[in-house]
Structure 1
Amino acid sequence: MQGENMNSKRRTFALVILLFGAFMDILDTMIINIAIPSIQSGLQASSSAVEWTVNAYILGMALFIITGGRAGDILGRKKMFMLGIAGFTIFSAFSGLAATINVLIFSRAIQGITAALMIPQVLSYIQVLFAPKERAGALGAYGGVSAFATVGGPILAAFLIKINLFGLGWRTIFLINIPVGVFILIAAMIGLTESKSINPLRIDIPGTFMATASLIMLLYPLIQGNSMGWPVWTFLSMVVSLIVGILFIVYEKRRMKRNQSPLIALNLFQFKSFIGGVSVATLLMIAMSGYFLVFMFYLQMGLHFTPLRAALAAMPFSIMVPAMTGFSVTKLAPRYGRKVVVLGLIILALGLASVESVMHGAGTSLSNWQLLPVLLIGGTGMGMVVAPIIDFSISQVPEQDAGSASGILNMMQQVGSSIGIAIVGTIFFNSIGSSLTSAREISGFAMGERYAIWSAVGILLVTIPFVFLLPKKIHHHC
């Protein structure tokens, strides 16, 4: 009995270590939007460079998260988790000390790659450490930490910028990771035991490079094109991106036929529910990642909100999402099925449209209280979509492929975020002008946020037909 108690305590300690790692990743994803205006003015960055500051991290993580999971299965999850934490901490320091925007972008990209080594091990360890009956509690704790980081991240960033510790300003949002990272690294060394997969999948290095090349050739011209006047090579790059993407699919099919562990298990796309789920999740992230970038930038640079005031303005949305997520996935989706997702997308689109309407009507006199009800509406809609869509996506997938399905879904959500920042961000910055100094007038910013947010609303409405690829109700594969 005492041995079981000790074992339980050790597993709990291991879970706490893993959740700290997950918290760092989600926090770093959320805090950047608040800090972008301060970073832009501090490093004299262009609008395209600002987009890369956000996108570099997301893209680095998206492209290597499946590879990171497989590396943990093959080489050891403890090794990969510690390597990820160490790299994340080191490049947090590089980000915080960056003298130029290019150094910051590079550091953020490597941070994303190291996060991709770290994050898959968190869920893998939960699967290994906890029996099925206990796993729900561990996953609940993971969800709680994610929600807390989502809500608290922007406020923490705003607070750190406001207090301007040692005159470092925005740099503290990255430098704060150093002591936390060192603590997690030491704790992981003591508290985690090594774990490997008995029959691990191979790492698809050529597939990873092809996917990386395709996405960079798509995203680079989308982000840089506006500031460069859309030269011919930007359109050629996007065409080549499509060709490389097709070659990637052909290569993955061939690798799959030879049973060589492809990066993306294309056989999963035989399930309509998976196609629908991936499509909805990707389009949702395209709309929402672009919206959040524009919303925060407009509040701070257009309306001159302080970072703290902007973070508090966005908080109702951030609180409502996790509050609604649990209710929708446990109560609404089992009873009403995919109708919940359709209704959620409609409510979310209505919420964003209402946010734009309120901001357009209030102009420079906009207050946090005016945004409160419409952000609550938007957060309600988002919460009705994000959790059920994961359940729907894997509902028809065989149990042995659930890990691959989750990996692809996670990757495509990150890819969607990158594309959304590129597309919606480009619409916004194109509307206000490539030079920030020429767009100081509120009218320029107002036009930019209007076009960008209505574009996000349009993407959400285009998403609705894909919901009908999902089953009417969730029936898990046995």
Structure 2
Amino acid sequence: MSIARAGAAGEAGNRWAALAALYLAMFMSILDISVVNLALPAIRADLGANDTELEWVLVIYVLAFAAGLLPFGRFGDVLGRGRLFCWGVAGFTLSSLACGLAPDIPTLIASRGVQGLSAAMMVPQVLAIVHVIFSEEEKGRAIGLFGSVSALGAVAGPLVGGVLVSADLFGLGWRPIFLINLPIGLVSVLGALRYLPVLKGDTRQAPDWVGTFLFALAVLALVFPLVEGRQFGWPLWCFVLIGLSAGLAVVFHGLQKRNVRRGRTQLLPVTLTRDPVFVAGVLFIAVFFSAMAGLFFMMAIFLQSGLGLTPLTAGLTLAPHPIGVILASTLSGRFGTRRLAERIVLSTFLVLGALVAVWLLISSGWAPWALLLPLLCLGLGVGTGIPALFQLVLSRVAGVDAGAGSGVLQAFQQIGMAFGIAVQGQIFFQVLGNGAGEAAYRQAAQATLVYPAGVLAGLFALAVVRWAWPSIWHG
């Protein structure tokens, strides 16, 4: 990819202004993932949504995001990363307006799907653009800010969601959580148009349209029956779709190998699929995020509908988690690439212990304030492990495949999140049934927590094995 700098676009001040525009859009997309959790009860009351429809409000975003990350990362190489970034931010902003004005739940779900695709269009371009427009001396500082912005978005989500829903601005209820994206997106687009240098695409690369379709279809065939199965009583077609998903994944992988032989662009570089450390790391991250995403979907409903907390109070109750993530990420960043295995072991141990503590407190009938310390420990565990996991996985990726490797990592992270929300949503609403009292919600929350706790117990055991006998991961 080549760069054509116009006028002062190459000046240092303009590069940092361009970075602000890029990271503002990243902040908006991260904020939108977590801010919706606190609005779910209000959305259900206003639009008459059932349990499955509430799951889809979250899952459709994550699903579209996951399906789009790989292809849009490659499309940026062809069409130009700056151009695709601006298109993505514009699409995200307009779809946020559609969400905020949605008259019914199907419109909201459809608009959330467009949001997810738009996020997939802009997110892969951000670090790639940073890599191109900054010198080696400045790049470390610029990329370091990426983690801070991500953590800030995670912290702000529960708080902003709680404040906006509780404030009921102009009688709009939950709708301002989406409408707040309008000024943010507008400033980001204008800043990118003003300060980003012209980044020309490589038109010699042809997008893999067949691979894009197969990958998206495989993800949809896996997640759709998981979300809808309980509502339909788990008919045969649910299991057929799950099996079809595995078959489509095999066909997709075969297509990528054929692309190698014919010298065509690969969505998923085959060399990465042959690296046991990369594959194991990506699967580890996907499973880890399946535990975390579903947990906070459940907790948002439990705290408000089960314990009667206001959205603001629920947001404050959940806030120690992202605060812990920021603290641990900042501290663990000082280790660089050192002691990755030990940090992953410590992370899974802390998260497992925190989940057990949350389960015990909920089952014992403790007040919500008692959850603050375990949730802080949960955040410390996540903040310790995620940077180490990402570094471990990306250390296996050659420079020429860095963009693709990052796209694969983020895609499977989102697939894990969609899977976790679907599975834990199934458990929670199945156990809850028609129950309406606090006892029923506590029982449903206890049952749901078995999944993330079981997942983390398994991941902790794998991390210990990886630390004690690292050679077995290398075959």
Normalized against structure 2, the TM-score is what?
A: 0.93
Paired AA for residue 147 in structure 2: G
Moved over 3 A (4+): 3-6, 197-202, 464-474
Q: What are the Cα deviations for residues 244-267 of structure 1, in whole angstroms up to 9, with x where unaligned? A: 222222222222222212211121
Instruction: Tell me the residue number matched to 2:435.
Output: 439
SS in structure 2 of the partner of residue 195 of structure 1:
strand
Does structure 1 conserve the Cα–Cα contact (< 8 Å) formed by 2:79 and 2:203? no
Tell me which of 307, 314, 321 is aligned to 1:310: 314
Normalized against structure 1, the TM-score is what?
A: 0.92
Instruction: Tell me the residue number matched to 1:124.
Output: 128
Tell me which of 423, 436, 458 is aligned to 1:462: 458
Tell me which of 102, 107, 120 is aligned to 1:103: 107
Instruction: Tell me the residue number matched to 1:226.
Output: 230
Q: What are the Cα deviations for residues 54-111 of structure 1, in whole angstroms up to 9, with x where unaligned? A: 0111111111112222222211122111111111111101111111111111100111
Instruction: Tell me the residue number matched to 1:374.
Output: 374
TM-superposed CA distance for 1:209, in Å, is 1.1
Tell me which of 344, 348, 359 is aligned to 2:347: 344
Question: In structure 1, how many angstroms separate the alpha carbons of the residues matched to 2:395 and 2:203?
Answer: 24
SS in structure 2 of the partner of residue 397 of structure 1:
coil
Q: What does 1:11-410 align with in structure 2 at a 5 Å threshold?
A: 11-197=15-201, 201-331=205-335, 334=338, 336-363=339-366, 366-368=367-369, 370-410=370-410
Question: In structure 2, how many angstroms separate the alpha carbons of the residues matched to 1:129 and 1:332?
Answer: 23
SS in structure 1 of the partner of residue 395 of structure 2:
coil
Distance 1:361 1:342, change over 3 A: same
TM-superposed CA distance for 1:362, in Å, is 2.4
Over the residues paired in the alignment, what is the CA RMSD in angstroms? 2.1
Does structure 1 conserve the Cα–Cα contact (< 8 Å) formed by 2:9 and 2:15? no
Structure 2 unaligned segments of length 5 or more: list them: 1-6
Does structure 2 conserve the Cα–Cα contact (< 8 Å) formed by 1:338 and 1:470? yes
Paired AA for residue 382 in structure 1: V
Distance 1:270 1:242, change over 3 A: closer
Paired AA for residue 353 in structure 2: L
Question: In structure 2, how many angstroms separate the alpha carbons of the residues matched to 1:81 and 1:260?
Answer: 24
Question: In structure 2, how many angstroms separate the alpha carbons of the residues matched to 1:141 and 1:397?
Answer: 22
Residues matched between the structures, number: 464
Question: In structure 1, how many angstroms separate the alpha carbons of the residues matched to 2:396 and 2:226?
Answer: 35
Percent identity, aligned pairs only?
A: 33
Question: In structure 2, how many angstroms separate the alpha carbons of the residues matched to 1:192 and 1:6?
Answer: 9
Does structure 1 conserve the Cα–Cα contact (< 8 Å) formed by 2:214 and 2:249? yes
When structure 1 is superposed on structure 2, of 46-55 and 320-329 the one drifting more is 320-329
Does structure 1 conserve the Cα–Cα contact (< 8 Å) formed by 2:79 and 2:202? no
When structure 1 is superposed on structure 2, of 104-113 and 227-236 the one drifting more is 227-236
Question: In structure 2, how many angstroms separate the alpha carbons of the residues matched to 1:200 and 1:380?
Answer: 45
Tell me which of 441, 446, 449 is aligned to 2:445: 449
Distance 1:9 1:404, change over 3 A: same
Structure 1 unaligned segments of length 5 or more: list them: none
Does structure 2 conserve the Cα–Cα contact (< 8 Å) formed by 1:86 and 1:185? yes
